[in-house]
Amino acid sequence: MQETDWTIIYHTADSQICPHIHRSFYEKSNSSANILYADGREYFLPVPHDSLKVKDVNLGREIDTQTTALHSCKADKLRRFLICNHDKYLRDWLKDNFHKITTNNVAFFEWDVLLNKELPPVNIDALHVKFITNTGGTPWFWMEDIKKIDKNISTGVAPFGTFYANKYFVEQMIDEKYDYLYDQSLFCEARLRILANLTQAKIVQEKKIHIGALEGEEVPVGCFHPVKSKIK
């Protein structure tokens, strides 16, 4: 492996609700990358994955995730539940699968990000995000979550859907000394920014890390978000 090689982590909170619909594009555009498919489902549903009341650490209440409840609850409520906890389930998966990361460069993509370009041959030594937020104008909505932990942090990062890091940063994500951070009532993007501060990671804004949603069925070269329907 070279320093410019990539591990891609294409992740979802629950593959039964939000499956890896763009898998073929990842494999076609990055055939030499180490591609891992992370699924948080097993970390909040017990065997046989059909019924459990799990505490949502971000909302401070229990949500019944048994099959009948998932069918009957409002879509927005379920979507918020998955989004708020996505980083928690991803971290749980990483604890069990960290050994599968074989490169310095690690790219994270949520299930509705369509990657149809080869990742660049660079050596990642920072946290690369699409936006560094709260830099002027309207305050970033999730800054209040950051201030709960550290009032001296003045910026945020967004979105959680696409970011690049290195293996060392991922190792810090799963370190038990940061368990307390994942027990806090924090939005995933706020938690990522706090972790970057705690680990003294440099943050790089890369506005072209992905662009907007696709129009039509043609898929040009690029990385697109959100794309919530499967494209043949």
Range of the domain at 22: 6-224
Q: Where are the alpha helices (DSSP H) in the chain?
A: 23-29, 67-72, 75-97, 143-149, 167-173, 179-182, 188-198
> 0.85 cut: is pTM over it?
yes
User: Which pLDDT belongs to residue 34?
Assistant: 97
Residue pLDDT, tens place only, 42-99? 787 655 555 555 555 555 566 666 555 555 455 566 666 666 778 998 999 999 999 9
**Residue 68 belongs to a domain:** yes
- Lowest mean pLDDT segment, chosen from 23-27, 156-160, 215-219: 215-219
Which pLDDT score, from 0 to 100, does residue 91 have? 95
Sign of torsion over alpha carbons 108, 111, 114, 117: positive
Is residue 41 a part of any domain in this protein?
Answer: yes
Give the number of domains in the chain.
1
The whole-number pLDDT of residue 216 equals 76
Q: Does residue 229 sit within a domain?
A: no
The average confidence (pLDDT) of the chain is: 88
Give me the CATH number covering residue 13: 3.90.550
- Enter the DSSP assignment of 211: B
Please indicate, yes or no, if residue 69 is contained in any of the structural domains: yes
Q: What is the DSSP string of 136-184?
A: SSSPPTTHHHHHHH-TT---EEEEEEEEEEEHHHHHHHT-GGGHHHHTS
Give domain status of residue 24, yes or no: yes
Please report which confidence band the pLDDT of residue 13 belongs to, taking 50, 70 and 90 as the band edges: confident
pLDDT of residue 14: 83
Percent of the chain, pLDDT > 90? Answer: 68
pLDDT tens, residue by residue, 133-155 = 999 889 999 999 999 999 999 99
Decide if 99 is inside a domain.
yes
Residue 153: inside a domain, yes or no?
yes
- Is the pLDDT higher at 191 or at 62? 191
Whether 231 is covered by a domain: the verdict is no
